[in-house]
Chains A and B, each alone.
Chain A
Amino acid sequence: MTECLNEEMRDLLPLLAHGSLEAAEAERVRMHSAGCAECAAELAVLETSRLVLRASAPRVDVAAIAAAVGQSAAGASAAPVLRVERGGAKPVAAVARRSVWRSRQLLAAAASLLIVASLSLRLLDRTPSSNEGPSAPDTATVIATDPAPPAAAAGSELSVGDALVDLTSDDLSALLTELEGFDGKITIEPAAMRQPVVDTPGSR
């Protein structure tokens, strides 16, 4: 199999296929490949490989991860832990309980409880027909659970539909708009609580 001797061009072919070259440079590489059979063939392989590798990679539930990480990063009173069951079960962001509570965390927990309780009412009022597009969640529920002990009462469960796979950033934005009541409420926490006080989840 022959290979083009212009190493600079060959090196840039994957970036051309990826679309990450500046316009002028992309044009230069494209011009070269137009007159170089080896690079044209290689570019075709790269474009196919890129499509296939992207299509065959696992899809993650970006919205669920964002919600869980956002809560964790916000120093919420408990660290959300995302569990994904194999076999098509929906990802669930559950809340792990902390064993030690500092006084300001108690305050935050109390605040979260109020938030979750009010959200439950708001979200449960929603009808499924409020979905606005194909990437909208099948379900969006926030449920207050586990009334005791009081400090750990702020449980939450966010479950989102399977249709959330492979969101573009626009899709994600639309989804997050849909869920804005959820996060918008959370951001009223005292500023001090936004520090990442949550332990990194260890190996599970």
Chain B
Amino acid sequence: MAYPVPGTSDATDAELIAQWQGGDQRAATALVGRHAQPLARFAASLGERDRIDELVQDTFVRAFNSLESFRADSSLRTWLFTICKRLVLDRKRTERRRRDGVELDEGHAVVGYDALDGLVAEETAKRVNDAVARLTPLQREVFTLRVTEGMPYNEIAKVVESTDGACRVHYHNAMRIIKEYLSDD
């Protein structure tokens, strides 16, 4: 009855899935708490800015409704990110059809830096975002997964549907572009 579920914070995703399948809704809640914000960051790296809550919620609903298709040997995180990406692509396709071929802005236009709390100067934050905006969509996706989520290349490769080696190259190319941009004055 009470939150947190005893052991929830230490439980692996696989354990939480098993608990949820056994009827414990709090396990589902714990899974959402663990993965929702990373999914939102990922969606942002794909250029999504609108209705992110809805997107993240749809990702979980799809995942939970098709848990039987989830293979326990792969990571839940990878699977969630894959579902999220598919939803984003569906959205973009719909949006593109609606706008009749007008290219969508994939840049990082928005941005308030309140959460930085003085850890990074606002000017620096702007420059980093400008640098990231210069990356190709694939470089940005790989770089974000590696840097903000700390994902191993084999997981990234599943999400972006590529190979470990190619992801490694994308990461290092992205890093080079960002470093060069930041050191340019």
Whether, in the assembled complex, B158 has its beta carbon less than 8 Å from a beta carbon of chain A, the answer is no
Residues of A with C-beta under 8 A to B2: 177, 180, 184
Q: Could you tell me if A183 and B32 are in contact, using CB atoms closer than 8 angstroms?
A: no
| Distance in angstroms between the alpha carbons of A69 and B173 in the assembled complex | 38
Query: Is A88 close to B, CB under 8 A?
Result: no
Smallest CB separation, A117 vs chain B (Å): 20
| Given A58-B44, A173-B4, residue A51 in contact with residue B120 (CB < 8 A) | yes
Distance in angstroms from B134 CB to nearest chain A CB is 13
A60 touches B178 (CB 8 A): no
Is B179 engaged at the interface, CB distance under 8 Å to the other chain? yes
- Given A50-B148, A53-B41, A58-B49: A73 and B64 interface contact (C-beta under 8 Å): yes
**In the complex, per-residue mask of A45-60: 1 if CB is within 8 Å of any chain B CB, else 0:** 1101111111111111
User: Given A42-B175, A58-B44: A73 and B62 within 8 A (CB)?
Assistant: no
* A49 in contact with B178 given A54-B41, A56-B129, A91-B53 (CB within 8 Å): yes
Give the CA-CA distance A180 to B150 in the complex, in Å. Answer: 33
Q: Is B144 an interface residue (CB 8 A)?
A: yes
Find chain A residues with CB under 8 A from B183 CB. Answer: 1
Within 8 A of A (CB), among B8-44: 9, 20, 23, 25-26, 28-29, 32-34, 36-37, 39-41, 43-44
Given contacts A1-B180, A84-B54, A173-B4, contact A56 B32 (CB under 8 A): no
Do A54 and B50 form a contact, CB below 8 Å, given A42-B179, A176-B4? Answer: no
Give the number of A-B contacts (CB < 8 Å). 200
Query: In chain A between 24 and 71, which residues have their CB closer than 8 angstroms to a CB of chain B?
Result: 41-42, 45-46, 48-62, 64-70
Query: Among the listed A18, A81, A82, which residue makes an inter-chain contact with B148, where contact means beta carbons less than 8 Å apart?
Result: A18
Complex Cα distance, B56 from A91, in Å, reads 13
Q: Is residue A132 within 8 Å, beta carbon to beta carbon, of the partner chain?
A: no
Verify if B163 is at the interface (C-beta below 8 Å from A): no
- For chain A, the bracket of interface size reads 35 or more
Q: Which of B33, B90, B128 sits near A66, CB closer than 8 Å?
A: B33
Q: Which residues of A contact B124 (CB under 8 A)?
A: 48, 52
Determine which of A51, A56, A60, A73 lies in contact with B56 in the assembled complex, contact meaning CB atoms within 8 Å.
A60
Q: Known: A48-B120, A51-B116, A57-B44. Is A183-B54 also a contact (CB below 8 A)?
A: no
Give per-residue flags for A134-154: 1 if the beta carbon is below 8 A from chain B beta carbons, else 0.
000000000000000000000
- 1/0 per residue B64-106: CB within 8 Å of A? 1111000000000000000000000011001000000000000
Chain A residues 139-198 with CB under 8 Å of chain B are 166-167, 169, 172-173, 176-177, 180, 183-184, 186-187, 191, 194, 196, 198
Q: Contact at A14–B25, with CB atoms within 8 Å?
A: no
> CA separation between A46 and B147, bound complex, in Å?
7
**A186, B115: Cα distance in complex, Å:** 35
A60's partner among B52, B149, B180, B182 (CB-CB below 8 A) is B52
13 contacts between A and B (CB under 8 A): A15-B146, A20-B150, A49-B132, A51-B119, A52-B120, A58-B49, A60-B39, A65-B36, A66-B28, A70-B28, A82-B54, A91-B53, A203-B90
Interface residues of B (CB under 8 A from A): 1-4, 9, 20, 23, 25-26, 28-29, 32-34, 36-37, 39-41, 43-45, 49-54, 56-58, 60-62, 64-67, 90-91, 94, 108, 110-116, 119-120, 124-125, 128-129, 132, 144, 146-150, 152, 168, 171-172, 175-176, 178-180, 182-183
Interface residues, chain A, with chain B CB atoms under 8 Å away: 1, 3, 10-11, 14-15, 17-20, 41-42, 45-46, 48-62, 64-70, 72-74, 79, 81-84, 86, 91, 166-167, 169, 172-173, 176-177, 180, 183-184, 186-187, 191, 194, 196, 198-201, 203-204
